[in-house]
Structures are given as structure tokens and as C-alpha cells.
């Protein structure tokens, strides 16, 4: 993972600032001959797009994506397919109100990347954070739409499972509910609660954090590695690399620290199809850095955005004490739009590990291997 | 981060299995002319070494480290210094009781890497887990001892902050206490509680999880990057890549999800030395993926070890249902020895980011840069 | 070096096909606060641009480049500077005559990438070679224009030194002559010879190979590494990675195989400025993979293009014997336009090694280091 | 390719200095379940070992290799197999006569890495060159012995084809002759000529350069990539990264610059097995960076060693003019022992590209892919 590239064999390089002419990405290493239509990418981007409800920033960005390379339309069949060469995706920025930022041009927002960004580069993109803007995540979602198609049979879904102090009721979890409310909430009743809660937060000029859960089904056993190339280590980097994320966990996560060894063990029995079945999934589908064949379950915590209307003490670039109020168009709960971003990162990590595993071990059956007779 | 290499400019490649002839690592990219004595590496290894109290595995490994390359003794001065070329470190395995494992040779331990390892490689190192063994972490600790010397002024310390349900009392936190008890506990009274608690766990043939906190002081502002090369993303991978870790958090971590934007903001004021001072550290020293100059604070959760004396249901390599009891010499709380490992990973990440930052931006002062007059 | 990314700290990722909507690149890792105007990039692109004389392809591509990100115009001073974040460059394709290729749609051109490309990807971009097109090198030239600015004091220049059997007369070498003729030839008299020779080749429907020499002045001693990160190894990959290149040499190159040890030794004497002076440069400025401070001198050989009007025997995608004649607009000597491409690759390698060296060793003086008194 | 690591999926990291306690390597990414015995590695090492004839250095190094990890002996069958985890190989240094170097301790050998090494690291390993020693190549040969087993059906062979001014007679080329003379010469008559020629060079205290040719048979079509991950670019880096190499060429190499397009084209016809047959191999088995299925043919030029008995002008570390004579035990023609090293590098590059291709494209047949009916 380089400064702006993610992945080893399925490699995503993103570029672009919040208030520059365009953002985009280059997806390198995608296998050839995968059918891919631009609408499939657009559809994922539309789920992340701002301005779709009163609960996200009112910035209006159509986020229309163009494929610049790496996809070829076969003349005979009219099918669009990946070619195996880099797929470049471009999204023009449309709605940049730079003047929104003139008041805070030289001030550091507490909790925002401005100060360390300036300390690093000697440069401060006051207009929405430059590369530190959540706008960069549109590129990730676009790349993720391609990544979803790499490993056959893979499904990646996400949901918001906590908003501030209000957790979802897991007994009422329904994946079908997720697209029906503006929160990616898997439970209609909790969604209603969140709506009124977030209205209050928004009107108070405040913001709130959240927890997102991402689940991948159809992951074969054997992806990952026992040491640094661990599947969970790469997932942790992927999620922690999303803006405003402060915590990541796999399976039972921090709760596993409280468990006894016997409570935490996912016992096994042979299934009817001749493959092992796990009787629980405390491990979240990963043991020793390698996928077990169970669903992969991960969560990450998003802090409240630092862009709030309540005045905070700060300093400016000239070394003077001052106060700041951020009046731009911001998300009261950035965690909401992090759901499709988290899905995209999970998909990218799995695509990469699928190809890496295939490189090292090939395409044979993953278990059981032929054993000498006992 | 490749399958067995960690880092970009400060690169650590480890090798070796739990029950092979030796383990070790190659540290590549270390700057030249850093004074380095083998005793400094040994001293860190001794902190991780098993068999030092009744609370860790009774396997007796002296973990004596040899430097095979990359360090040169100047004839004139007798000073040992790094040369800038790869530093190879070797630790011979001494106490391998392979027969301990004969009963479980073909059985998968629930919660252990055995099954996915076998599904990946078609090979099952029943003797202690092969590469998935915690023994591999000795190599990391050795590399970390070198990493600590790369960024000037850096201090990395760690402590166990929770064992099973029992958290440390932070009001009594004393770093000096950490080396005085067998738990790396920063509070003597909690250490006593843990001793009796863990005796109970051990005698029951069970095991328990833990949470570790690692703190780095002296990190300059500006290390990291706003997108994939985030300092916190690399830390998350580093910690999640330690055996048995299921969760990672930076600063307030998951608790940040509950906070309001104003509560989470680390407000700033100019300090007497002409540099900004933060009035709190919810961010754990990292904003937008870049260090702020505050201490970096991270935590990770370790699950209870899967090697327990209580029988669990499982299957074997031949696809038969069976039960398993793991009788080898194991840690009732592997989280304890993860403390120096976590320190080492933090040190390696910071050494790498220090060099990467110096590569891109050079050695000038990190803040303030000369600004045009207003 | 990944499939479409070049470099470690100064990283260039290119994308785009000959006949797609656009080509371009993302330059990641460039230091911040380097003044950079789009005209500087355009100026290098114009040197590589086709259709500027009768000796190159008549395809008309303005190669107008846009900077999409990574450069910021300071409001106060109006200065455009790099920000330290990814610089995305976009060049739209304008003059794609796809129908030129309809005759050879399913045939493999001998000496061309078509067959192995198809064997790899199951896909054959008959329209100009897809990613294998020399058009991709425009992206390299654009990146190289940025790379030239990274290491202070660096100058990279190139010249064509052989066309087919006709070598340049080195006794008349004049760098000022290079931009005055359509061949990048450092000698006016040879340029005249080449003009009449190449007219003959062109009219015969044939093509011819060439040798290019690239020289870098102002490279400090100490860049590179003694083993795999050798400066010359990276240069060799960079040049061999240019389309149609079949050989690379540094300094005396293949001629060094004929020399005795005493003839090949570049003897040294102390110069007036207190630094060593070399009395010759057989080594081409690199010893043991590390720059010596002398000019770096490299050459590469370009084969004749496979796109010729003379019929050749071949097969088609359906496994049938056939003949082929390539009627598109092609360069009779692709080596000519490879000169600015070679300069760009040299600049990129040196920028990367400059940053890598600074990362590992810092910015101190490279020689002499303080030594103990003798 | 990092400073001391080579390859992407099949990754070789080497360590160790000429006069330290040991050298060795870690081979990461090797597929699991490949039968591998230590004797196979030793056998390749023995071909490179010094002191086997009067034509190489008289340093006596048994080069006995130990496998420290990554190979497992199945108890039942007794078969040693790779496990898929890092294979660490260790070779102890035995015959280090450090005092040989005392006269030249502070002097730079012209043509040797000493000066730039010192300029880089501020450190000068006068005892045989440290990492710049040809001794490091033993590690490469060991890794190459493993690499040979990765791609099924691969054969890699090498020969010395020129010594100083004396080229081999290709009309008498016989691979069986190579192991029968001390020069890896494929022609017995040329070997005799070289013997008397090199005796003269050696007795004069001089040295001489050489050209080595490496040929790989059994490489499937489709390995490599059209842009930076070109197979020939990686080969060029691999060969140029061998000590003392100054030039690399593929197929016709520099001679291709002289050819016309029609002479250089490798025409094709359908073969009896339903796959295309090439009527010549000017391309050396690689077109557009991708293997064609023909044998891969590469050559590299080795300069004469800088360690000679004839006095040369130089400077010392203290900035004084002086003369130098190198009295240690050196090879009069280092090119000889570069033959097995070149084979190893070719094998490593092919193993890496075989895995990278399998990762991206899978294991299906490489040509023809199913095509729509015409």
C-alpha cells in the first residue's frame, strides 16, 4: 500500500482533490474478459452520492463516471469487457463553492486534517480538505464496483449498525431494508429513531459518529496468509484508511477480549456436502489471517465530522490563537455515506487476495487436498 | 505489505516456523551509521521471551539472537554501527517438543489457523502452527529494537490495559510499574487482581483475551499521508497482523462513534515554544492519516488462545467428526506477551513513515513553513 | 515496478490505449512546493509529438495535456506549485482512424505484440496495439517533465546516435544541434545523411532500427544501491520497457567485455574542489549500482517497427495461414521519437532514486563523511 | 524491486557481506507442495563455487547451504516439500582472509564500488566489497534453484559466448559441452583457446570481460505485460543487477538496430499441433513485453574485474592522491562464474512472471481463446 495506491495485484490508484477539476482512479491488474458496463459502476456511485436526503451534505455532485481505458466493446457481440489493462475512471467535479471556505482559509479546524497536512506538505488546501476530503472516496466506490466482479460468487453488503449512542436492533436485521431508508439501516424501526435523532443533531449545528458493518458472503477458504499478508490486516488497513475511521474489528472484535477460550472457539462438524461446517462465527470468517469459508464480518467506527457550526478554539497558519466555525455544506453523520465506501474497500481487498492466492497456489480445490491413506 | 515482508523503506522480512531449526528476519533499508549492539536487540527479546513466569507458556527458549550481516565494527573505535545494508538476525529454536502434538496431528483446533492454513496450502504444520505460531513474533520484536533507533527522539511503550473482564484503573497509571509485574500492567493493584484471576483461568484449562495499549512519544507532526498511506491505516495493519488480534483502535477508537463533533474536537492554542498545543487527544495523535505531533495512542484486542484443555468439537483432515483437547505448553493469556510485539510493530511503522516522509519532503522543519505576509 | 506503475517513491502509473478516448498518467510521490506549469509538460510532449516531419507517423495528435490534480495555484502569488499529492495528467486522443486497421483486424503482425497480447489476455486490440502502442509513451514524457524538477541541478539530454547502419560522428557532437534537425541528431552532417537514407527506407515501405544515447549531468554520488536496487538495474528496466527496445548498455556497455581490467579502470585524482575527479568514464557514471558523481551515460537499441508495407507471412486468430501488409500511418524509424521517451525514463529513475536515497540516508553531504584521524 | 528484494510474487531477499559470518536469502511466495531437496540447491551452488579451477579466485568456500524454514518433511512419505511459507537459506562464510585487504583499506579501487558505496553510506567495507561483493550472488543461485521448479516444463541454461575479444563459434554449439570445461563454453575448441588466453591474462596480473548468453526453453506464451511489467524489462533489471554487468540484450539486441523491418520480422505459420510456429527468433521470445512461446534468449556483458595486480592511480578516504594494487584472490574473468548467476536470475524472473500471470489471468489455456464464429 503506497501513498495513493491500494492493493498488490488488484491495484487502485486514486487522484484528485475536493475542489479541483476532477477526481478519479486507475484500476490496474483486473483480469481480462470480465463483462463490465459503466452503468454498474454508476449504480454504486449513486449509493454514495451526496445530496440525496436532508441527512447528508447538500453539495450537488452528479458523480457521473467515464471509463477512459481498459474496457473494449467487441464489435461482433457488442459486449463490453475488461481487457486486462488499466481501467481509468474519471469523475468531473461540478459543484465547488470555494467561497464557502473564505472565512476559514487560514484557520485549522480542530479534528480535521488541516494542521498535519500543512505540517507535512507546507500547503493547506482550505477548500474542503484537498486529498483529505471524503470526496476522494467516490473513486474508491468506483473501483469497488469493478472489484466485486473479480472473485466469482462474491457478495459484499454493508449496513450502519450504530449512530451515536443508538445501536441497531440485531433481532430485526433485514438486508432488504438497507436500501429503503437514507441510513443504510437494516431495521426500519431503528431508521425512524435515527431520523429524528439526526434532525436534532443537524439543527444543533453538531455532528455524530457511527459504526458500520460490512459482510462478505461467498469467500472461499484459503485467502490471505499467516503473517503480514493477513486478510484481516489488509482489511484493517482498508477500513482504517477511510476518512474519519478510528477503529476496526473483525468478528467479535474487542468483545473477544472478554471471552474465554472455550466460548470463543468456533467448533466444527462435517457438513452434508463433505466440507466442514462451523457452529458459530466468533472469528468473523478469518483465522490466522486466512479466510475459513465462513462469511467475513468486519466493523469500523467513524468519528463525528469536525465540520460543525459550534465555535471551537484553534490557531491559524500565522501562529495566532483564534476561533473557528465551519459553515460549508457538511454531513452531520459522515458514517452514513461510509457504508458503500466500506463495501468497496472490502471488495477491493478480497479481489486482491483472490488474485494473490491464485498466483501462489493456482486454481485447484482449496480443501481437502489428496491425503495419504491412514 | 507483502506476505512475509512489512514496510516500504524500513522493510522487515521474517521467516521460520515454530518447530523448524530457526526463525529470524532481514531488516532492509535501515539508515547507515546508527550505533547498534546485539545486546539492545536481546534486551527487547528478553521481554517477550516465554517461560519467565507461571503465566506464560513453559516452553524454554533462550531466544538468543545473532547478527549475521549489516552491522560493522569499526576497527579504530570499536563502535558497532549499521552499514545501510540488510541486517539479518537469527534465532535458533531450542525447545521443540514435537511429540506434544502427536495426539492432535490430524485434527483442526477450533479458533486456530490449522483449517484455513490447510485449505490454502494443502499442508498442515500440526507442530505448533508453523508460521501461524506466536513464535514468529520474536522476529518482529528483534526488528522493532532496530526500528526504535531510526526516528530521533522516539519512545514507544506499551501496557496491558484489560485482561478478560478486568480493565486497568487508569487513575493509577504508572509506566514505571510496567516492568515490575509479569503482565506489563501499569498499575500494581490491578496486577495483583490479574494474578489471581489468571491462576484460576489456567487451572481451569481455559484461556482469556486481553487489550493492549501502545503509546509513542516524540513523533513529529507530518508523518503519514491523507489517503492510502495513512499512518493509522499502516498501524491498523501492523496490529491486526499480530497473532490473535481481532480489533484495533486509534485514540478514542470505537468510543468516538458515540461522541458529538464538539466533544471530539481537539482544540488548539499556541504554545510558549511557538508551536500549536492541543487541549486534548481524542484523535490519538493522528488526523487525516498524518501525525499531529501529539503522542500516538493505539489499542488492540487479543482473543483468548484456542489451545485449551477443555474438549471441543471439531473435524480432522480426513473429514471425520471428532473432539480435541490441546495439551501442549500454551499461554493462558497470549495478550501478555503481545505487549512487546505491539511496541515493535509501532516502532517499525514509525521508522518506515519517518523514512518515507524524509524521502518525499526532506529534512526541513515541519511547521510553520514560510508564508507570504498577510 | 508493477504492470502499469513505474518507480517506488516517485511513482508513475499510466493508462490508456492508442484508440481509446484518452491516455494519461498519475504521478504519485512528487515532493510538494515544486513550481510546475502545464507549459513545461507540454513543451516536452511537443518534442515527442508525431506528424512534425515526413520522417514520423502522419497521425495528427496535438497531445494537449491537462493537469487534473496535485497542482495548486496560490491565490496571493499566482504561483502554481505541486502539493505533494497525486498529479493526474490527461491527454485526449483526437486522430483515431480505426478503419485503417480493418484489413488486419484478425491477423498477427510479425514482430508486433499482437500474438502474445492475445495469448495473454484473450483479447486483441487490433487498432494500433492497445496498450502496446507507442502512443502510451506520451504519458511517460509528461511524467518525465515533472521528474526533471525533483533532483536539484539535474540535466537529462538525449540524442539519436545510430540509424540503421549509420552511426553519428562523435568528433562532431554538438548538443545544440539536437533540436535543429528532425532526428535529435547531435551532428548536422550525419543528420543530412540520415534524411536521404530514411527517405529511401520510407519509400520502400520498409523501416529501420536505431540507437539512442541518454546522458544525465548533475547526478550526485551515492544514488542507487549495491544489490537489487541498483541504479543501472532500474535504468535497464526503464529503457528496456520502452516499446521496441531490445538492448541496453551503461557506459562502455558491451564494448567493456573486450577491455582489460587496466583499460577499463576509471582512475581517480583529487580535484581542486576537494572532491575526487575521474580521469575517464568507462563506467558511465555508475559503479556497483551506485552513482559516482560523473555523468550517467546509457544507450538503448530500438528495433525497426513491425508495421511495414512489405508483405509478410503470418497466421490469424482463427489459426489460418495468411499474409499481412500494414497500411496504417507508422514511423519508418520509431527510434527517433524514442529520444524524448528515453530522457523521460532516465529522469523518472533519477527522481525516484534521489527520493529513495534521501529517505534512507537523509540530506547530508555525500562525501567525505567525517573520518577518525589516521 | 526493492534495495535487497527481487520479484513481486516470487520474492527473493538476500543478505550478507563478503566477510561477515554468513550470507543467505529468504524466498517468499513459492507455491506450496513442490518437492525440494537441499541437494538440488547445493548442486547449483557447486557450479558457481570459487576455487574449482585455476581460472577463478582461489578463495575456498564450500558454500554449504542449510534450509532454515519453508520446507517440511512429510513423516509418512519422507518427501520434502515446500510449504508455501518463506524458505530461508543460509550459507556460512568460511575462508575470509581479511588481512589480504589491509594494504588497500583506505584506498578506492578504480572501477570498483568502493567510492560510491562510501559516498552513499559513509562506510567502506574494504574487505572484499561488503554487499557489492560477487559473493552475494551465491544467494541468488540458491534462490534460482528453487525458482527453476515453479513453472512446469521450464529449462534454463547458460553459456559463456565471448571472453575478451574471443567469441564462441556458434556453428559448433553443443549444450553438452558446457559442464565439461571450466568456462561454461558450449564449444570444446573455443574452450581450449580461452584456457591459454586466460592463463596469459592471469599471469600478467590483468583481467578480462565476457559475454554470457542465457536461454529459457518451455516458457508458455503470455508471460509479461505490455507496459512496465514487461518480461524483458524485468530480465534487463535482473541481468544488469548482477555484479559488473554493463549491457543487456534480448534476441538480436543491438544488432536489431541495423536490421530492416522485413528482416527483423519473425514470420509465422500454423504448426502441426494447431499452434503458431515462428520461422525465426529475432525477438528472443518476447514481443511487446510478453513471451511468445519461443525460447527466450538474452545476453549480458560483464566488464573485467577491477581487482588487478597492475598499479592504478587513485585517491584514498582522506582525500589524498595515491596508487593501488589489489593483491587479494580474484577472478581474472568474473564473467565465468556469472553464468550460473545469470541462469538463476532468468529462473527467478520467469517464476515471478508465471505466478503474476496466473494471478491475473488464471490457469486456462493461453491460446487460442474461444472466438465468435466469423
- The 10s digit of each residue's pLDDT in B96-132 is 665 666 677 889 999 889 999 999 998 877 777 788 8
Which chain A residues are Cβ-neighbours of D369 within 8 angstroms? 33
Chain D closest CA to C151's CA: distance in Å?
16
Burial (CB count <10 Å: 0-12, 13-18, 19+), residue C102: exposed
> What is the Cα–Cα distance from A37 to B135, expressed in whole angstroms?
48
Q: d(Cα A220, Cα B88) in Å, to the nearest integer?
A: 36
pLDDT interval class at B42 (50, 70, 90): very high
Question: Which of A69, A87, A121 lies at the smallest CB-CB distance from C83?
Answer: A121
Give the closest-approach CA distance of C148 to chain B in angstroms.
15
Beta strands C245-250 and C276-278 are unpaired
The three grid cell numbers given for residue B54, joined into one nine-digit string: 507461571
Q: Which of D230, D246, D288 sits opposite C251 (nearest CB)?
A: D246
Give the one of C29, C32, C361 whose C-beta lies nearest to B84's C-beta.
Answer: C361
Sign of CA dihedral B142, B147, B150, B153: negative
Q: What 3-state class would DSSP assign to A180?
A: helix
| pLDDT recorded at residue B239 | 98
Using CB atoms, list chains with 3+ pairs below 8 Å to chain B.
Answer: A, C, D
B287 and A312 in contact by Cβ < 8 A? no
**Smallest Cα distance from C274 to chain B, Å:** 23
Q: Which residues pair with B35 in a beta bridge?
A: B81
Cβ <8 Å between C290 and D113: yes
Contact D312 C262 (CB under 8 A): yes
Question: Chain-wide mean pLDDT for chain D?
Answer: 91
Question: Residue A88: what pLDDT?
Answer: 98
D34 at B interface, C-beta within 8 A: no
Give pLDDT, residue A97.
65
For residue D136, give the 3-state DSSP assignment.
helix
Closest CA to C310 of C110, C129, C112: C110
Nearest CA in chain B to C77: B372
- Taking an 8 Å cut-off on Cβ atoms, the answer to whether B9 and C360 are in contact is yes
Would you say A51 and A57 are in contact if contact means Cβ atoms under 8 Å apart?
Answer: yes
Q: Rounded mean pLDDT of D191-213?
A: 96
At residue B57, does pLDDT exceed 80? no
CB contact under 8 A, A254 and B246: yes
Q: Compute the distance between CA of residue C284 and CA of residue A130 in angstroms, rounded to an integer.
A: 43
Convert the pLDDT of each residue in B326-355 to its tens digit: 876 678 999 999 999 999 999 999 999 999
Mean pLDDT (chain A) is 91
Question: What is the pLDDT, as a whole number, of residue B97?
Answer: 65
Given CB atoms, is A253 within the 8 Å cutoff of chain B? yes
pLDDT digits (tens, 9 = 90+) for B233-257: 999 999 999 999 999 999 999 999 9
| Chain B from 337 to 356: CB within 8 A of any A CB | 356
Strand pairing partners for C291? C286
For the residues D78-105, what does the mean pLDDT come to?
84
Could you give the CA distance from residue D7 to residue C94 in angstroms, rounded to a whole number? 38
Q: What are D245's strand-pairing partners? A: D302
CA distance C84 to chain A (A): 6
Mean pLDDT value across residues A344-368 = 91
Q: Which residue has the cell 519422507?
A: D78
Q: Which DSSP helix (H) or strand (E) runs through B9?
A: none
Check whether C189 has a pLDDT greater than 90: yes
Residue D137 has pLDDT above 90, yes or no: yes
Cis peptide leading into residue D368 (ω within 30°): yes
Q: Are B28 and D4 within 8 A, CB to CB?
A: yes
Nearest to D315 by CA among D148, D109, D139: D109
Q: Where are the alpha helices (DSSP H) in B148-258?
A: 188-203, 231-240
| pLDDT for the residue numbered D321 | 95
> How high does pLDDT run on average in chain B?
91
Site of grid cell 487479543 = B302
The partner residue sitting opposite B68, judged by closest CB among D22, D33, D69, is: D22
pLDDT band at A57 (very low <50, low <70, confident <90, very high): confident
Contacts of C15 in chain A (CB under 8 A): 26, 28, 68-70, 85-88
pTM for the model: 0.96
Residue A368 preceded by cis peptide, ω within 30: yes
DSSP output for A232-297: HHHHHHHHHTSTTEEEEEETTGGGGGGSBHHHH---EEE-TTSSEEES--TTTTEETTEE-SSPEE
Residues whose CB is less than 8 angstroms from the CB of residue B291 and which lie 6 or more positions away in sequence, other chains included: A116, B219, B220, B221, B222, B223, B224, B231, B285, B353
Instruction: Tell me the CB-side half-sphere exposure of residue C88, using CA atoms within 13 A.
Output: 26
Is the predicted pLDDT of residue B19 greater than 80, yes or no? yes
User: Does D118 sit within 8 Å of C369, measured CB to CB?
Assistant: yes
Which residues are registered as beta bridge partners of C213?
C159, C299
Q: What is the pLDDT of residues A221-256, one digit of tens each?
A: 999 999 989 999 999 999 999 999 999 999 999 999
Contact A9, D356 (CB under 8 A): yes
Least confident of C341-350, C359-368, D178-187: C359-368
Of D31, D74, D372, the CB nearest to A361: D31
Contact C162 D116 (CB under 8 A): no
Cell numbers at D93, concatenated: 562464510
Taking only the tens place, the pLDDT of each residue in C11-55 is: 999 999 988 899 999 999 999 999 999 999 999 999 988 777 888
pLDDT band of residue D129 (cuts 50, 70, 90) is confident
Predicted confidence band at C238 (pLDDT cuts at 50, 70, 90)?
very high
Chain C contact for A72 (CB, 8 A cutoff): yes
Res. B227 pLDDT band, cuts 50 70 90: very high
Q: Which other chains touch chain C, taking contact as 3+ CB pairs less than 8 Å apart?
A: A, B, D
Name the least confident of A332-341, B175-184, C319-328.
C319-328
C99 pLDDT band (50/70/90 cuts)? low
Q: How far apart are CA B226 and CA B220, in angstroms?
A: 16
**Does B374 touch chain A if contact means CB atoms closer than 8 Å?**
yes
Q: Helix (H, G, I), strand (E, B), or coil: what is residue D277?
A: strand
Instruction: For chain D, say whether C99 makes contact (Cβ under 8 Å).
Output: no
Burial class (CB in 10 A: 0-12, 13-18, 19+), D362: middle
Tell me how close the Cα of B75 comes to any Cα of chain A, in angstroms. 38
pLDDT tens across A135-172, in order?
999 999 999 999 999 999 999 999 999 999 999 999 99
Please report which residue ranges of A73-207 form alpha helices under DSSP H. 114-121, 137-147, 188-203
Q: Which residue of A has its CA nearest to B360?
A: A121
Distance CA B260, CA B279 (A): 17
Q: How far is CA D290 from CA A85, B165, D103, D226, D254, in A?
A: 13, 58, 50, 7, 19
How much is the pLDDT for B98? Answer: 59
C115 CB neighbours in chain D (<8 A) are 221, 268, 276, 287, 292, 367
Could you tell me if C313 lies within 8 Å of chain B, comparing CB atoms?
A: no
- Say which residue, D57 or D204, is predicted with more confidence: D204
Q: Which pLDDT score is estimated for C3?
A: 87
Nearest CA in chain D to A359: D359
**C-alpha span between B236 and B123 (Å, rounded):** 29
CA–CA gap between residue A142 and residue A46 (Å, rounded)? 10
If contacts are CB pairs under 8 Å, which of residues 6-25 in chain B contact chain C?
Answer: 8-9
Question: Which of B74, B76, B362 lies closest to C358 in CB terms?
Answer: B362
Confidence of residue D328 (pLDDT cuts 50, 70, 90): low
- Look at C128 and A133; give whichever has higher pLDDT: A133
Which residues on adjacent β-strands are paired with residue D28? D11
Query: C7, C20, C36: best mutation site toward chain A, by most A Cβ within 10 Å?
Result: C20
Interface C:D, Cβ pairs < 8 A = 436
Distances (CA, A) of B304 to A95, A254, D134: 51, 11, 49
Confidence band, pLDDT 50/70/90 cuts, at residue D268: very high
| Partner C contacted by B359 (CB < 8 A) | yes
pLDDT at position B123 is 81
Could you tell me if B266 lies within 8 Å of chain A, comparing CB atoms?
yes
Flag if C317 and D110 touch (Cβ within 8 Å): no
Give the per-residue pLDDT at C198: 96
* pLDDT for res A306: 84
Region C134-157: mean pLDDT is 96
Question: Does A119 contact chain B (CB < 8 Å)?
Answer: yes
Q: Which chain D residues are Cβ-neighbours of C14 within 8 angstroms?
A: 227-228
Closest-CA distance, D40 to chain A, in angstroms, reads: 22
Distance from CA of B78 to the nearest CA of A (A): 36
Amino acid at each position: 500500500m503506497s501513498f495513493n495506491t491500494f492493493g498488490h495485484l488488484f491495484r487502485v490508484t486514486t487522484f484528485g482533490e475536493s475542489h479541483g477539476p476532477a477526481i478519479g482512479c486507475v484500476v490496474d491488474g483486473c483480469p481480462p474478459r470480465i463483462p463490465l458496463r459503466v452503468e454498474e459502476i454508476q449504480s454504486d456511485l449513486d449509493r454514495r452520492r451526496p445530496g440525496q436526503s436532508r441527512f447528508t451534505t447538500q453539495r450537488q455532485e452528479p458523480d457521473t463516471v467515464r471509463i477512459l481505458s481498459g474496457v473494449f466493446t467487441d464489435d461482433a457481440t457488442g459486449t463490453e469487457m475488461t481487457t486486462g489493462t488499466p481501467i481509468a475512471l474519471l469523475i468531473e467535479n461540478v459543484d465547488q463553492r470555494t467561497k464557502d471556505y473564505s472565512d476559514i482559509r487560514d484557520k485549522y479546524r480542530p479534528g480535521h486534517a488541516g494542521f498535519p497536512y500543512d505540517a507535512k506538505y507546507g500547503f493547506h488546501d482550505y477548500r474542503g480538505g484537498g486529498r483529505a476530503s471524503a470526496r476522494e472516496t467516490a473513486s474508491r466506490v468506483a473501483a469497488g464496483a469493478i472489484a466485486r466482479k473479480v472473485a466469482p460468487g462474491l457478495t459484499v453488503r454493508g449496513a450502519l449498525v450504530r449512530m451515536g449512542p443508538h445501536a441497531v436492533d440485531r433481532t430485526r436485521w433485514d438486508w432488504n431494508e438497507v436500501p429503503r431508508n437514507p441510513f443504510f439501516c437494516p431495521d426500519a424501526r431503528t431508521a425512524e429513531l435515527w431520523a429524528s435523532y439526526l434532525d436534532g443533531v443537524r439543527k444543533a449545528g453538531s455532528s455524530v459518529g457511527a459504526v458500520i458493518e460490512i459482510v462478505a458472503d461467498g469467500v472461499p477458504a484459503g485467502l490471505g496468509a499467516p503473517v503480514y499478508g493477513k486478510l484481516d490486516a489488509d482489511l484493517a488497513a482498508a477500513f482504517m484508511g477511510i476518512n474519519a475511521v478510528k477503529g476496526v474489528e473483525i468478528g467479535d472484535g474487542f468483545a473477544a477480549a472478554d471471552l474465554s477460550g472455550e466460548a470463543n472457539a468456533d467448533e466444527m462438524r462435517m457438513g452434508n456436502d463433505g466440507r466442514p461446517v462451523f457452529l458459530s462465527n466468533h472469528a468473523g470468517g478469518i483465522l490466522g489471517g486466512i479466510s475459513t469459508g465462513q462469511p467475513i464480518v468486519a466493523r469500523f467506527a467513524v468519528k463525528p465530522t469536525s465540520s460543525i457550526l459550534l465555535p471551537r478554539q484553534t490557531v491559524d497558519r500565522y501562529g495566532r490563537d483564534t476561533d473557528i466555525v465551519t459553515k460549508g455544506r457538511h454531513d452531520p453523520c459522515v458514517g452514513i455515506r461510509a457504508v458503500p465506501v466500506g463495501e468497496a474497500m472490502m471488495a477491493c481487498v478480497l479481489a486482491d487476495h483472490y488474485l494473490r492466492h491464485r498466483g501462489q497456489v493456482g486454481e485447484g480445490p482449496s480443501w481437502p487436498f489428496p491425503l495419504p491413506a491412514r
